[in-house]
Structure 1
């Protein structure tokens, strides 16, 4: 109350206006500083976020490129391996076909040789049978001739013996007679 007495109501109002204006200015200044700090903080945060995002993006891109190159190299090797496998498969198929032809030709040759062997064996058996018949005939013929010769020899021996005996008898008779 003491103050109220000293100051008049106009002065108090003036003081209140000035005090209000000072508070408004102070609030406005604080608000501007807060806005500045907020903008500055947002700007710094955005820069940090943008830097982190760029760093992450660069790292992702680098990692992606690394693995893309490795995958690309592996896929190229895989494709080359598949191509080589296909070529080897084709070569093996061709070799198999050639071997099949060789085996078929060998089978034909073996069948032909088997037929030739069979024919030769049959001819051999026939010739052996013919030879046996011929030998039997020759043996029989030779035996017959031998029998004839033996018979002739026996006759001859018998005749010679008879002649010798006769000669001997003649000599004996002659010696007795003369």
Structure 2
């Protein structure tokens, strides 16, 4: 605009022109251009946010242009609608977008935590099943061996008693030998009984140890899961606060 036209407009309005340097005007308009460039860069990430920022930049450029040319704001020159309502609408849209993003992130966290819990439960169940099968096999083998040995011992005792009855009539020496064999068999039975008791005690101790290990593994997994959830929540909150801070700075301090 020519200087004569500017003076005429100033006389008609009855206000003096506000002197402004070239550097200020250049900075005002370049800042709006930079905000538009940032908006174009962030279109892929958040389109709603980009639309609100572009509207705010257009409003600020209009106001600055009116202050540079006529020395007054856009509200004094034109009869446009109230900008406070527009700003409140834009802020409400921005808050809805942020709430949507927060809900999506919460859903992702819930899905991730459920998947980790299910995987840990499956692993624990597999470990418990494998341990239970191994213990059952070992116990069954020991039981079969013990039953076979006990049956054999009982048969031997019966056979020795029959032989005693037969040999008593023949010689006393053979009776002594058979008595000695009988004592040895009794000792074997006592040793076998002691082995049975020791095996049962060991099996009970193994079961208690397995239960304790299972409980320790469960507690460790729960603690690790809680710590991971806390870390993820803190990191997400920090990122969201940083994004909110940047977006609000861009929206209000352009």
More relative contact order, 1 or 2 (CA 8 Å, 6+ apart): 2
| TM norm structure 2 | 0.33
More helix by share: 1
Computing the radius of gyration from Cα coordinates, the structure with the larger value is 1
| TM norm structure 1 | 0.45
